[in-house]
Amino acid sequence: MPTLVYTAEGRSTKRPGEPVAVGDIVKGLHNKPSDEKYEVIYFAEPRSPASSGKVTIRRFGADHGNEVFVSIIGAEWVGRTDR
Indicate whether 9 pLDDT > 80. Answer: no
- The predicted pLDDT at position 32 comes to 66
CB count in 10 Å sphere of residue 76: 18
| 4 DSSP β-pair partners | 77
Q: Where are the beta strands (DSSP E) in the chain?
A: 3-6, 25-27, 37-44, 54-59, 66-69, 75-78
**Contact criterion met (CB below 8 Å) for 25 and 13:** yes
Provide the Cα torsion 70, 71, 74, 78; round to 10°: 70
35-47 confidence digits (pLDDT tens): 788 999 999 989 8
Domain boundaries, the chain: 3-78
Q: What pLDDT is stored for residue 30 in this prediction?
A: 63
DSSP conformational letter for 11: S
Q: Using the predicted structure, report yes or no on whether residue 26 has a pLDDT greater than 70.
A: yes
